[in-house]
Structure 1
Amino acid sequence: MFTKKRMFLHGVVIVFALLCAACSQPLAGLNDPPPTPSPTPWPTPAPQSIYVNPHISLGTISPYVYGANYGPWMSIPLALQEEARQSGITFLRFPGGNWGDTHTLKPYHIDGLMMVSEMLGGAEPSISVRFLDSTPEEAVEVMRYVKEQGYQVRYWSIGNEPSLYDEYDTERFNREWRAFAEAMRAFDPDIVLMGPEIHQYTGNPATDPRDAQGRLWMEEFLRANGDLIDIVSFHRYPFPRSMTDPEATPDELLANSEEWDHIIPTLRQTVRDLTGRDLPIAVTEVNSYWSNTSSGETTPDSFYSALWWADVLGRLIREDVEIVAYFALQTPTSIGGYGLLARTDVRPTYYVYQLYKQFGDERVQAETDVPRLSAYAARRADGALTLIVVNRAADAQRVPLQIVGVEQATAEVWLFDRAHTAEQVASVTLQSGQAVDIPGEAVVLYVIHPE
């Protein structure tokens, strides 16, 4: 039986216990960490404008996207050696084209490659060893000479466009390619192997090269040799589409640059699916035409082809391609208008590199939804922000430019069009949100230096 006194004491104990329990809990909010402040949202791109956000880094641009094919079948004229030095070419694919599968490389050929590499300011050399009518042992002998001379050659490939070989299907090529690769790696495990170097890959199974049994060259190569390859490589020349349609119209050529927005992502996914790896991609031969043509409205030596290339190169940079080797460094007109250099003068595509060599090595966000307009932006080592705008439209376009964090700035302007060969023109004052004038069929480089 509880007495009143016991009931009182019992109540005191309960209250005391409840108070102690309450005191053992932290007061709400007293020891909570301070809330993380919400980031200030970046402005969203306005429609029908150019939008640049230099605060969003999209990674490092490979220095080897400014490459070219070079071989013993080319010669850099004495009168153009200074232009070659100033070309901005950073990577050399040697010996270029199918020459390497019809000739055996001699020591003096390799010596010549290294001399040109030095002339171009230390352009990274790569060598494609002969595959047809050759052996893994002969490939290793080429590597042995390179090593004995102390030449630094890291990038190697085996053969050229096997998808065009007579008497080869994917199974035979993949088996023999593997024997070459294993021998070369045994000699030097540090080499970087590129392949399969097939022709006309587009990421479309309906048109991609197949062997006589209907097997896709790229897919079969990745299945068979995906464990040995370091960089997945291919070639692309979109025109002519047939010999009955030998020349593209300007509209056809300029619209074609957009295909790269499909080709590269499709190949990346195919590589992941078939190898389980994310491998770098190289486009080791590329130009507007595969035929030996020149002096046409859109042939490789034309202004239109240069305008096309300015946009293609920007898209390849945007897709984070590791190596791009334009075809070619030099050719006389007698064998086609391919080369950046001719016999006595440079061709229009040369000037594309005069702009891009000022671009920078850190890609930042840039986009536009204006038809036939492309925008690519980068940050340079000196802190400058650069913007390349390619206008594939015939008419000038007046477009608002929005640069996040830049209210007003003075920009250098470099212009490539029919009247200007990548020349510096009058500087402009850029005000974020205000319109800029982009000339028709032109490439404009803006350079904004840090204050």
Structure 2
Amino acid sequence: MSCKKICFPVMVGMAIILGCRKNNQEPMLVNDRPLAAKGKLGNRALAGNTTVNFTQAITYSGVKAVYPFSGTISTYGATGIAQPGGATQSARLTNLKLGLYRVPIKWNGGNVISSAAGGPTNISGLAWVTAIKNTGSEPMVVIGGATNDNDITPSDAANLVNYFKNNGMPVKYWVVGNEPGMTMDEYCAMFNTVFDAMKNADASIKIGGPALAWFDMNGLRRFIQLSGSRADFIDYHHYAMGVSFLSDEQALSETVSWENEINAIRAMITSELPGAENRIEIQVGEYNWSWRTANGYPGWNGDDRFYNSIATVWGASVAGHIAKAGGRGHQYADLNGALGLTFEKASDASNFGRSVNDAMPLYYGLQMFSGGNLFRAFGNPATASTTLSNVEVYASTNKNIVMVNKDLTASQTVSVDATGITNGSVIDVWQTNNAQPFSAPQKVGSIVASNGWFSYDLPAKTVTTFIVTTSIAQNLALTSTATASGYVNAAESPDKAKDGNTSTTKWCDNVNHDKWLQYDFGSGRTIKKIVLDWEDWDKNTKYKIQTSNDGINWTDCIVENINDTDPRSYDVNLSNIRYVRFFVAQADDTDAVRLMEFEVWGN
């Protein structure tokens, strides 16, 4: 069995103390001092640093993009998903479960292939789209031209729509061109004719542009002015760096830029074309740590931070900001050297003791939202906030919470006050490991929410996902048999510590040297959480929580020497436990023990 100590920071109100007695030898039938006055929630009025409201979805002044967590198929690499040796990569992307994958395709006179510069010419466009759908994701075709990304004709674009539809693999999402090297007026003239031809081929498809290489509000505004009456979504790219490099601290501090840009674009659409914000989605068509490793950073083969846990944290932060703003983000790309979700080259992989197609750190940053093959996916964004420095919180209405600790050195303890959570809910906790950037997130424990509150440690440079499960732990104390070392009178008997009343009743022993309160559950139980709730002004600082299977031989589970918190909560993982007791030794006892509630949560 194992015990993990998690404490609740609390706010203890002013207590009214009447008739304080200090004599440990007073007779058992003499009344203990009266209960202190308590506020609305008694001493459960905890001082949390993070609030989440699962019942309050974030609202937007326009349409929210579908598939917020998405990616890109570069078509590069000998082990790409449509290549003969692509089974491992396909399984890797299947396990990640992103929503959409952009993939560059051109008509090429009917020989439909990748339009990526240097992309394979022996793999058909149909093979790429089929491979994407086989991972459980949806394709988004980025249409390329005959000789470059943007010399696209209306007939070629319409032919592509019909090509996939007629081959039983219809594509719903399309981007016209990529990072156009022309004026916006020229691009929009092309976009409009291509758009019309494609819609004539299939009116149900969604078409976007202009896929700018960087965030350029003037360019995007001109696109809305000239093509906004047609476009189904707006697309631009944003890499954190590339021409030069940013420090770790600066790169992490700027992740909010993606959220701010999406909000600014939505406001611009509303201003330029009122009402269009309700149908035009916003997507970051490409994003990554850097658009190249040769950005000046003095690492292995350039910027080797792609291979560090900072990429996990940075990626999760950017993905969270994009989703929070109601946008869609496409990480670039599945395979492309250091920029990949997985290793493309054996030389890179072997340098880090990995293999081709093994996951890169950024993969796991996205998985903390997508859930992949580990846990359920993040749903519609819900309201959440935190006062912790360098920590971000993202919540969803399906009761996921993702917390990103961007501090490079300091662990922090989060104390969450969650609205819309059932008392006793079991919460699974998943975390990344900053010392093992190529290792999958691990389930590090399960905790129990008490009155909507829970607490956990967030190690430096990590991402933590809390999954509120449908399992409900019970306060096993309520149905247990309680005995104690003694008590003052019947009004302060052992049963008063398990009556569910945290305001007006208590168990008190102010006579015996060794003081203890014991529960017998009748049979072995699984225990997930222990909560001690004292009278406000009289918590114990030194005590033990002990367990037993016979009520005679006891094992220390928790040994507390410096408690300064009331109530005090411990998340544990105990199996087949029949007896639990709270124990204060004579040497640690300077007065009475006065417990309002001794809760034991489990099944």
Q: TM-score, normalised by structure 2?
A: 0.58
Structure 2: gaps spanning 5 or more residues = 1-39, 107-113, 345-355, 473-603
Q: Is the 8 A contact 1:62 1:361 kept in 2?
A: no
1:56 aligns with 56
SS of structure 2 residue aligned to 1:417: coil
Residue identity opposite 1:428 in structure 2:
I
| 1:218-257 Cα deviation digits (max 9, x unpaired) | 11111111111011111111203x3xxx332211211121
Correspondent of 1:256 among 254, 257, 270: 254
Equivalence for 1:66: 69
Match of 1:117 in 2: 132
- Asked whether the equivalents of residues 69 and 96 of structure 1 are also in contact (C-alpha less than 8 Å), the reply is no
One of 362, 371, 387 as aligned partner of 1:349: 362
**Paired-residue identity, %:** 19
Moved more, 130-139 or 393-402: 130-139
Residue 405 of structure 1: how far off its partner (Å): 5.0
**Aligned residue identity for 1:114:** V
Report 1:93-132 matches (<5 A). 93-95=102-104, 100=115, 108-121=123-136, 123-131=137-145, 132=150
- Cα deviation 1:327-379 (Å, max 9, x = unaligned): 00122x3xxx1111113121011112332223332332211132211111124
One-letter amino acid of the counterpart of residue 68, structure 1: G
- Give the secondary-structure state (helix, strand or coil) at the position aligned to 2:306: coil
Question: Which letter maps to 1:449?
Answer: T
CA contact (8 A) 1:390 1:444 kept: yes
| CA distance, structure 2, for counterparts of residue 315 and residue 148 of structure 1 | 38
Residue among 390, 398, 407 paired with 1:393: 407
Alpha-carbon distance between aligned partners in 2 of 1:87 and 1:140, rounded to the nearest angstrom: 32
Q: Distance in 2 between matches of 1:342 and 1:250?
A: 22
Q: Specify the SS of the correspondent of 1:330.
A: coil
Unaligned residue ranges in structure 1 (runs of 5+): 1-39, 202-207, 210-215
The DSSP-based 3-state class of the residue aligned with 1:261 is: helix
Deviations 1:40-75 (A, max 9, x none): 9xxxx9987110112223379865222111143342
Q: 1:170 to 1:405 in 2, by over 3 A?
A: closer
- Structure in which a larger fraction of residues adopt strand: 2
Is the 8 Å Cα contact of residues 75 and 116 (structure 2) preserved in structure 1? no
* Structure 2 counterpart of 1:15: none
- Residue 307 in 1 paired to residue 313 in 2? yes
Mapped to 1, the partners of 2:442 and 2:412 lie a distance apart of: 20
**Partners of 1:253 and 1:305 within 8 A in 2:** no
1:155 matches 2:153: no
Who is 1:274 aligned against?
272
Within a 5 Å distance, the mapping from 1:71-90 to structure 2 comes to 71-74=74-77, 75-76=80-81, 77-90=86-99
Cα RMSD of the aligned pairs, angstroms, is 2.9
CA distance in 1, matches of 2:211, 2:257: 19
Q: SS where residue 58 of structure 2 aligns?
A: strand
Q: 1:10-409 alignment to 2 at 5 Å? A: 49-58=49-58, 64-74=67-77, 75-76=80-81, 77-95=86-104, 100=115, 108-121=123-136, 123-131=137-145, 132-162=150-180, 165=181, 168-201=182-215, 208=216, 216-240=218-242, 242=243, 246-276=244-274, 277-278=276-277, 279-293=280-294, 295=300, 299-321=305-327, 323-331=328-336, 333=337, 337-343=338-344, 344=356, 345-356=358-369, 357=371, 358-380=376-398, 385-394=399-408, 395-404=410-419, 406=421, 407-409=423-425
Q: Shift of residue 159 of structure 1? A: 0.6
Matched pairs, number: 377
CA contact (8 A) 2:56 2:397 kept: no
Q: Secondary structure at the match of 1:413?
A: strand
Deviations 1:389-428 (A, max 9, x none): 1100120012322112545543211011224631111223
1:150, 1:194 → 2: CA distance? 23
Q: Aligned partners of 1:440 and 1:147: how far apart in 2?
A: 49
Q: Using the TM superposition, give the Cα deviation of residue 183 of structure 1 relative to its aligned residue in structure 2, in angstroms.
A: 1.6
Quick check: 1:429 aligned with 2:448?
yes
The letter for the 2-side match of 1:309 is G
1:19 aligns with none
In the other structure, the counterpart of 2:428 is 412
Check 1:326–1:195 CA distance in 2 against 1; reply closer, same or farther (3 A cut).
Answer: same
Equivalent residue letter for 2:54 = P
